[in-house]
Amino acid sequence: MKEWEDKIRKVVPYVPGEQPNKKHMIKLNTNENPYPPAPKVKTVIKEMDDTKFRLYPDPTANALVKAIAEQYQLEENQVFVGVGSDDVLAMAFLTFFNSDKPILFPDITYSFYDVWADMLRIPYQTQPLDENFQICFMDYEKENGGVIFPNPNAPTGILVNLDFIEEILKQNQDVIVIVDEAYIDFGGISALPLLKKYENLLIVQTFSKSRSLAGIRIGYAMGNPALIQAMQDVKYSFNSYTMNLPSIQIGVAAVQDTSYFEKTREKIIATREWTKVKLKELGFSFADSMTNFIFVTHKSYAAKDIFEYLKTRDIYVRYFSSNPRIQNYLRISIGTDQEMDCLIAVLKEYLK
């Protein structure tokens, strides 16, 4: 090893889901929304004034912050926006997790958490989900440097209620508790009502799932003004212009098109419930997902074999090979009715 190589920061990176690009594929592996963005988004794109691209965007992204604050009946100083929820979460890790004590998060969860912790040299301990993939409340009662967990959890799809979240907050009032609500719009109740009671709560959401804007990259955090200001200070010390002008304008349009949001959200939920019935008929078992995906296993067939067979039919789902506890599970994103019907037909063929 050369002398300078020893000084390079080395981390094991996050590995995103496969991004195939085939004409007639069915892509159910990255939890994208199967429906196009809202009509108001299309209108904004068509009418966008490209002469303004020569100017720096508003570093505060005030138009988007204001739209989100109005949507959730918050003050503008309670909202932070970033380039996807990954950017927002990374900024939150950098801002709030600075203790010598370990932060806590589940052992089966969003696999970016340990990547950020390793990269930023944040000590952490993963807390094991129980045999039913449920978060165990007692694991978060011990001394720590912060808590983060998704609700619903990913990749399990399991939701905890607000009483559960409040108990964790009660036991951890000396640290920041982050609830990652990337999938909350597909069946859960947001922890937003708890912001009035707990100054140490930060809620993170995204436009990638329920608002069909994964390609635009918009995420946001909601919390106490002191937390938001701390994140802003870190952001401006890192990169003042994270949100580009098109993203700000498109984000505002997506937030304001409420009727379209509700319509597509309800369609995805209905398709998910139909898919649950069909998968059970084929012998698959799974927890009751409250997300836009289902985390399934089959007692008679190996997940890896099903995964490989589906790929031969140009159907892509997510297989997690690195964690022994979930090596026999597949995460299947919810597509259109036609896509899910095709998936079920191909699974029937394979199981025969």
For residue 100 the two structure tokens come to: 């010598």
Global pTM exceeds 0.75: yes
Between CA 199 and CA 108 the distance in angstroms is 27
pLDDT score at 12:
85
Is the per-residue pLDDT at 130 higher than 90? yes
Q: Are 5 and 237 in contact (CB under 8 A)?
A: no
Q: Are 69 and 96 in contact (CB under 8 A)?
A: no
Maximum pairwise Cα distance, the chain:
60
Q: Are 177 and 97 in contact (CB under 8 A)?
A: no
Q: Are 286 and 279 in contact (CB under 8 A)?
A: yes
**Between residues 80 and 8, which one has the greater pLDDT?**
80
Is the per-residue pLDDT at 1 higher than 80? no
SS3 146: coil
CA distances (Å), 340 to each of 79, 336, 350, in order? 36, 6, 15
Contacts of 173 (CB under 8 A, 6+ apart): 198, 200
Sign of CA dihedral 27, 33, 36, 37: negative
pLDDT score at 195:
97
Concatenating the DSSP letter of every residue in 266-319 gives: HHHHHHHHHHHHHHHHTTEEE----SSEEEEEESSS-HHHHHHHHHHTTEE-EE
Between CA 200 and CA 146 the distance in angstroms is 10
Contacts of 183 (CB under 8 A, 6+ apart): 31, 150, 152, 154, 157, 209, 210, 290, 291, 292, 293
pLDDT score at 329:
97
Q: Are 231 and 92 in contact (CB under 8 A)?
A: yes
User: Strand 318-319 and strand 330-333: pairing?
Assistant: antiparallel
Give the number of other CB atoms < 10 A from CB of residue 132: 8
Between CA 264 and CA 37 the distance in angstroms is 10
Residue 96: which of 204, 203, 178 has the closest Cα? 178
Q: Which DSSP helix (H) or strand (E) runs through 126?
A: strand 124-127
Between CA 67 and CA 166 the distance in angstroms is 27
Q: How confident is the model at residue 13 (pLDDT cuts 50, 70, 90)?
A: confident
pLDDT score at 5:
87
pLDDT tens for each residue of 238-273: 888 889 999 999 999 999 999 999 999 999 999 999
Q: Which DSSP helix (H) or strand (E) runs through 240?
A: none
pLDDT score at 287:
95
Residue 144: which of 171, 167, 119 has the closest Cα? 171
Contacts of 102 (CB under 8 A, 6+ apart): 123, 124, 125, 144, 145
Is the per-residue pLDDT at 30 higher than 90? yes
DSSP 10: -
Q: What is the mean pLDDT of the chain?
A: 95
Between CA 213 and CA 204 the distance in angstroms is 16
